[in-house]
């Protein structure tokens, strides 16, 4: 699976404010790029923390991008994927509408009634892991269903897990010109954090977009 992480942060590295409310960090140019990256991938993934905070749709807004996908024999929108160990995704979440296929990755800890409710709402539920979703196992299952590339939009818990598991190939961070602050505000990579030197990145490109900077990296493979 090719894994591209894309997120927007404040200058102090926060994904949103201390209330974990959605903050519009990207400007129009960056959001247009985000939709091009969505369109280039087979699936777009977020954690359930992001679903509960933002209720995202995760589709491609630009009709010409959807038309290009159709012309390539692909569905107009990439599949939507939620990492959701206990099946907490609300059944009226926007990602469960019929605009695209939706996979909910759960663990063995997800109650059967939540799995039934999500399937009734149209999701394909993939069970992987004991207490928490095993992302390597879940991604193998997605690959067997034809998903060869995934764009991960966040949040910080899921992004850290992917770095920890050595599963990230590329990282793009849009740094908006604002400071959000807050020791409890989510950052690009939260979780437990590394105790060694962390994941090494190789800077590929720096680009000014809107009033911010897009930083594009490849993950250094040892």
Ligand X SMILES: NC(=O)C1=CN([C@@H]2O[C@H](COP(=O)(O)OP(=O)(O)OC[C@H]3O[C@@H](n4cnc5c(N)ncnc54)[C@H](O)[C@@H]3O)[C@@H](O)[C@H]2O)C=CC1
Ligand Y SMILES: Nc1nc(O)c(N)c(N[C@@H]2O[C@H](COP(=O)(O)O)[C@@H](O)[C@H]2O)n1
Residues forming the site for ligand Y (CB under 6 A)? 8, 22-26, 34, 46, 50, 54, 56-59, 153-154, 174
Q: Residue 126: in which H helix or E strand, if any?
A: strand 124-127
Q: Find the part of the chain contacting ligand X (CB under 6 A) among 19-27, 120-128, 143-151, 198-206.
A: 19-27
Give which of ligand X, ligand Y, none residue 57 binds (C-beta under 5 to 8 Å, depending on kind): ligand Y
* Nearest CB to ligand Y, comparing residues 29 and 169: 29
Q: Token pair for residue 100?
A: 């695209």
What span, in angstroms and rounded, lies between the C-alpha atoms of 188 and 6? 10
* Nearest CB to ligand X, comparing residues 70 and 194: 194
Sign, CA torsion 181/182/186/188: positive
Beta strands 43-47 and 201-209: pairing type? unpaired
Least distance to ligand Y, CB of residue 195, Å: 28
**b/e code 167-198 from CB counts within 10 Å (16+ = b):** bbbbbbbbbbebebebeebbbbbbeeeeeeee
Sign, CA torsion 198/203/204/208: positive
Residue matched to tokens 């800077």: 203
Least distance to ligand X, CB of residue 36, Å: 16
Q: Find the part of the chain contacting ligand X (CB under 6 A) among 83-91, 111-119, 140-148, 199-207.
A: 83-91
Give which of ligand Y, ligand X, none residue 158 binds (C-beta under 5 to 8 Å, depending on kind): ligand X
Give which of ligand X, ligand Y, none residue 85 binds (C-beta under 5 to 8 Å, depending on kind): ligand X
Give which of ligand X, ligand Y, none residue 118 binds (C-beta under 5 to 8 Å, depending on kind): none
- Of 107, 216, 103, 106, the residue nearest 168 (C-alpha): 216
Give which of ligand X, ligand Y, none residue 20 binds (C-beta under 5 to 8 Å, depending on kind): ligand X
Q: Is 214 helix (H, G, I), strand (E, B) or coil?
A: strand
Among positions 5, 53, 81, 93, the unique one binding ligand X when judged by CB under 6 A: 53
Give, as ranges, the residues between 106 and 165 that touch ligand X (CB under 6 A).
132-133, 135, 153-158, 161
Which residue(s) pair with 105 in the sheet? 83, 126
* Footprint on this chain of ligand X (rule: CB under 6 A): 7-8, 15-16, 20, 22, 25, 46-50, 53-54, 83-85, 132-133, 135, 153-158, 161, 186, 190
């Amino acid at each position: 699976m090719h894994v591209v992480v894309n997120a927007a942060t404040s200058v102090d590295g926060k994904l949103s404010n201390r209330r974990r409310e959605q903050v519009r960090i990207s400007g129009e140019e960056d959001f247009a790029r985000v939709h091009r990256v969505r369109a280039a991938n087979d699936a777009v993934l977020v954690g359930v923390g992001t679903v509960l905070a933002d209720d995202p749709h995760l589709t491609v807004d630009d009709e010409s991008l959807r038309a290009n996908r159709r012309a390539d024999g692909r569905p107009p929108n990439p599949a939507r994927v939620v990492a959701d160990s206990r099946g907490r995704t609300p059944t009226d979440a926007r990602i469960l509408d019929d605009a695209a296929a939706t996979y909910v990755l759960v663990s063995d800890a997800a109650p059967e009634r939540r799995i039934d409710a999500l399937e009734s709402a149209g999701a394909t539920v993939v069970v992987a892991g004991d207490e928490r979703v095993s992302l390597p196992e879940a991604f193998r299952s997605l690959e067997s269903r034809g998903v060869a590339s995934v764009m991960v939009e966040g949040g910080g818990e899921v992004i850290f897990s992917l770095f920890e598991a050595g599963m990230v190939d590329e990282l793009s961070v849009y740094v908006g010109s604002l400071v959000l602050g807050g020791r409890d505000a989510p950052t690009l990579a939260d979780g437990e954090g590394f105790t060694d030197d962390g994941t090494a990145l190789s800077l590929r490109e720096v680009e000014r977009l809107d009033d911010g900077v897009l930083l594009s990296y490849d993950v250094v493979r040892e």
